[in-house]
Amino acid sequence: MDTKITVKLPDPLRRRAKAVAALRGETISDVVRDALEAYIVEATEEAEDVRAVDDVEARMAAGTEVVYEHDDVWREIAAIKGEDGVPASVHRRRPS
């Protein structure tokens, strides 16, 4: 069952929504539903990302998260490849 809501839009936004609806052969309600759905998906993904980062940072602070140095990761990749796969830029940044 659909629920009807009333949303106040500034005139310029209403005109743009109406123009998009006309171009797509849709109603303004269709445009608003699509935009709201896209916003909710993006906001949910962003919130999940923030939560994941917070979790990792908490584990790092507690000392329970394994953390690797950049050069160590490149050495591991090189070992897997069987070559020196470290980019020259990494060698240049490494302190002598």
pLDDT by 10-residue block (mean), the chain, 96 residues: 92 97 96 97 96 95 91 84 58 51
The answer to whether 85 and 78 are in contact (CB under 8 A) is: yes
pLDDT of the residue at 16:
97
pLDDT of the residue at 35:
97
- In the chain, where are the structural domains located? 9-65, 66-96
Q: CB-based contacts of 94: which residues, under 8 Å, 6+ apart?
A: 71
pLDDT of the residue at 5:
93
Q: Which segments within the chain are labelled E, that is strand? A: none
Q: CB-based contacts of 48: which residues, under 8 Å, 6+ apart?
A: none
pLDDT of the residue at 74:
87
Identify the DSSP state of 63: T
